[in-house]
Amino acid sequence: VTEKPALRLKFRDSSSVIVGSGREPAAQDASKPSKSQPPPVGTEALVVKCGHTIAFELYSKDAFRDQRRTKTASRDCSPCRQARVQADMLAAKERRAKKVATFSKALKPRLPDGARFVATYDATQVQWIGALTVEGATYERSGSSLNKLLHKLDDVYRAAKPHPVDAEAVTATSS
Ligand SMILES: [Zn+2]
């Protein structure tokens, strides 16, 4: 483990932040002498789980020192734990954003008022022949099933007609 003096300073600064963050297990608090803790009488270098060396605080009346040392050594240092919390939060945020994007992409706007499907089955061709009329424009397709025909017509209509948001943008730039 390489010593980084600059990092050690950071550990000491951030230790109070971590204690107050509410993520500390209750057992940790119980092992501390008291709430009104006297200032540490010294520190000792302690290599913790993540491989960083921290300044482990020593107190004059410190019945749980060994327990505390073992527990501290079994965990990552404060900056590493904070960094992981940050990374986890960021990853969760990204996952949520992705989910929303996928959902809104899958959500097609409804057809306009008065949209009309007409379908006729052709037994010789084994095809449904149909048309979708939307706002004066008619799209024609055929499909092996009524369901396929309706989806094809819907797709051709949406491909021909720009997305409502795009249409607004076009109007705005052309006027
Ligand atoms: Zn670390």
Calculate how far, in angstroms, residue 109's C-alpha sits from the geometric centre of ligand 1: 50
Calculate how far, in angstroms, residue 159's C-alpha sits from the geometric centre of ligand 1: 54
CB distance 55 to 8 below 8 Å: yes
How long, in residues, is the chain?
175
Please tell me whether residue 119 adopts helix, strand or coil conformation.
strand
Alpha-carbon gap, residue 126 to 128, rounded angstroms: 7
- pLDDT at residue 95 above 50? yes
Q: Which pLDDT belongs to residue 173?
A: 44
Calculate how far, in angstroms, residue 61's C-alpha sits from the geometric centre of ligand 1: 28
In the block, which residue shows the tokens 């590493």? Answer: 80
Could you report how far apart the first and last alpha carbons of the chain are, in Å? Answer: 67
Q: Which pLDDT belongs to residue 114?
A: 92
- pLDDT at residue 104 above 90? no
CB distance 130 to 141 below 8 Å: yes
153 residue type, one letter: L
pTM given for the model: 0.39
